[in-house]
Structure 1
């Protein structure tokens, strides 16, 4: 869709990111996030759209996003799915202080924001926090013990045979995933387990990211009717591809680092921004479980200076990790006592979706 078509059907745009958290600096980018309702052909026809994240250099209605590369406007159905899944980056959109654009339809959605709060936030907020820790640990490893050379197949015992290319790896792992899924898809009596295994766990993502451990190789060989030498080559190729991916990520990290951020990393021994976001996410998740509301602005939450102190390097790596560990333990305790529902009411959210589309109209 053209920018102007999206903006004509936009129901809200909020100022997100560091400005929303109260952690912005004079040079901080403006991050705009919004929601629009697609026209009729996207609901009843073959056309599909999930979000608009480019084209801000085209003529439009809202001049404040002209040329802004940090702008994403989500289609309603897409964002309702993300909200229902308690996605931290999206949940905050309904709890912002500043909305440069908000229509009556947008206000109606904001009015129902508590529909999307459930105990799922424990898993999503801690999951996003652990992703920050993973990045922090990876960068710390690169700072303290940088890789010395590009990995070669021979480093992984691949001498005579050719390395399995990425497409071959993915094709086989897709086949393995389908076999695993086939073994559990008739678990109708255990509906929650079936949902967990088929929807909540990204088996394909896990298989592609982590190499097959030695303990599963024999079982994988039998399950897939494969030759033993192929399974071994698969494992070696996976190890090689993982190492190669890390090498490329290391080079990209070196090349694209912000100089000021790199200097702070060098002094402190870890990525301060990732450390701060980890603590912010865990505190936000804890607050939702305790209070049944999301406090995006950390000035209101009361910890903005503490988060700024992490960004300034006033806490050591060990102190930030201990802080994260304590917050995770608190979340575990509060989770049991929280009055939030275990999961959002999807039927109610579906009704809300239809109401919003009808309020907006097709044209």
Structure 2
């Protein structure tokens, strides 16, 4: 089965729904239309050597799950799958009669505390990292090792670059040797100290170097200086530099510009969906329902439109999580769905569907 084949052979569809922001009632004039659905493999293919668990278009905004995979994820209380099953009738493009056998209330359990609220908690942690990226900026050229090297001068230190300029020395003309029992401290020498020719490697090998390098030093020579390399600081800087530019390269530019225009120091759409998940987690515990079509549209869109500060949202989310945990402590929900029921449901759907063929 492929995405293209499924679109041609729609007799294998069990469910097809509008998903994403339009299903949530959170769409704006520029929102795309996403689709999700469920299909069943042709019987002959099911008996073959391969199994296709899901298919999607090139942009991944149309995704269809084979019924076994759908039920596996449903048994795990996967939010996307529970939302798909509970999509409002207005957003259901096609629903096979066999889907009446699959009821959300038969699968809701205490696992939703982790899959909905727990996922939202993960998103909040991610938002903290994203907040840091939005508020930090790195030049396109990475700092080199010399920016993290210092020379002892009397009772204080001076930057390595300053020391080299003062002495009119190039880093390539320097050689380093270790100092026993002093972590990341080195004796520094330079060519002009020696009457004869010496072969020094320099302090570091080039722009992409991750560490300083050592040279062979002629015996009985006093070092010109003692240098310390802040290796830990350089390692952290390189990781943050790489993460920042990876984020710049892969970020949703339209969403980023939207947040810049709002003056929001966080991904507002990201935070909107975090609060949507928290609200849905509470509703499952209180009402045993997955409410996909949001009645709290105005509140959620106000988050998307930057109505709250980042710190206020974090405080609101923390308080919300505490309330949700209290609701789940008293909720009339099983610890997890019944695997035997899931298996019998899959067998019945396949028997009913293939039997009619």
Query: Is TM > 0.5 for Structure 1 vs Structure 2?
Result: yes
Question: 1:246 and 1:90, CA in 2 relative to 1: closer, same or farther beyond 3 A?
Answer: same
1:71 to 57, 62, 67: 62
Question: Which structure has the greater CA radius of gyration?
Answer: 2
Alpha-carbon displacement from aligned partner over 1:177-198 (angstroms, at most 9, x marks no partner): xxxxxxxxxxxxxxxxxxxxxx
In 2, the alpha carbon distance for the partners of 1:254 and 1:113 equals 35
Structure with more of its chain in strand, by fraction: 2
In 2, the alpha carbon distance for the partners of 1:359 and 1:150 equals 63
Alpha-carbon displacement from aligned partner over 1:291-331 (angstroms, at most 9, x marks no partner): 111111112xxx22111111111111122111110111011
Q: What TM-score, normalized by structure 1, do the two folds share?
A: 0.67
Question: 1:38 and 1:79, CA in 2 relative to 1: closer, same or farther beyond 3 A?
Answer: same
In 1, the alpha carbon distance for the partners of 2:52 and 2:349 equals 17
In 2, the alpha carbon distance for the partners of 1:244 and 1:39 equals 50
- Number of paired residues? 273
Counterpart for residue 296 of structure 1: 292
Q: What TM-score, normalized by structure 2, do the two folds share?
A: 0.68
Question: 1:25 and 1:257, CA in 2 relative to 1: closer, same or farther beyond 3 A?
Answer: closer
1:24 to 14, 22, 27: 27
| Secondary structure of residue in 2 paired with 1:34 | strand
Question: 1:39 and 1:310, CA in 2 relative to 1: closer, same or farther beyond 3 A?
Answer: same
Contact 1:133/1:278 (CA < 8 Å) preserved in 2? yes
Question: 1:244 and 1:340, CA in 2 relative to 1: closer, same or farther beyond 3 A?
Answer: same
| Secondary structure of residue in 2 paired with 1:127 | helix
Counterpart for residue 125 of structure 2: 134
What does residue range 204-215 of structure 1 map to in structure 2 within 5 Å? none
In 2, the alpha carbon distance for the partners of 1:358 and 1:151 equals 62
2:258 to 261, 264, 267: 261
Counterpart for residue 10 of structure 2: 7
Q: Which has the higher contact order (CA 8 A, sep 6+)?
A: 1
In 2, the alpha carbon distance for the partners of 1:360 and 1:342 equals 31
Question: 1:315 and 1:85, CA in 2 relative to 1: closer, same or farther beyond 3 A?
Answer: same
2:249 to 249, 252, 264: 252
In 2, the alpha carbon distance for the partners of 1:158 and 1:250 equals 25
Structure with more of its chain in helix, by fraction: 1
Question: 1:43 and 1:152, CA in 2 relative to 1: closer, same or farther beyond 3 A?
Answer: farther
Question: 1:318 and 1:352, CA in 2 relative to 1: closer, same or farther beyond 3 A?
Answer: same
Alpha-carbon displacement from aligned partner over 1:323-357 (angstroms, at most 9, x marks no partner): 11011101111111010100110110110011111
Counterpart for residue 337 of structure 2: 344
CA RMSD of aligned residues (A): 3.1
Question: 1:244 and 1:289, CA in 2 relative to 1: closer, same or farther beyond 3 A?
Answer: same
Question: 1:240 and 1:141, CA in 2 relative to 1: closer, same or farther beyond 3 A?
Answer: closer
Match status 1:144 vs 2:147: no
Alpha-carbon displacement from aligned partner over 1:59-104 (angstroms, at most 9, x marks no partner): xxxxxxxxx8511111111111111111111111111112111111
Question: Which range is displaced more, 84-93 or 149-158?
Answer: 149-158
What does residue range 139-218 of structure 1 map to in structure 2 within 5 Å? 139-148=130-139, 158-159=211-212
In 2, the alpha carbon distance for the partners of 1:153 and 1:47 equals 52
Question: 1:354 and 1:150, CA in 2 relative to 1: closer, same or farther beyond 3 A?
Answer: farther
Counterpart for residue 188 of structure 1: none
Match status 1:99 vs 2:92: yes
In 2, the alpha carbon distance for the partners of 1:296 and 1:250 equals 30
| Secondary structure of residue in 2 paired with 1:100 | strand
In 2, the alpha carbon distance for the partners of 1:134 and 1:36 equals 35
In 1, the alpha carbon distance for the partners of 2:353 and 2:253 equals 42
In 1, the alpha carbon distance for the partners of 2:72 and 2:210 equals 45
| Secondary structure of residue in 2 paired with 1:49 | coil
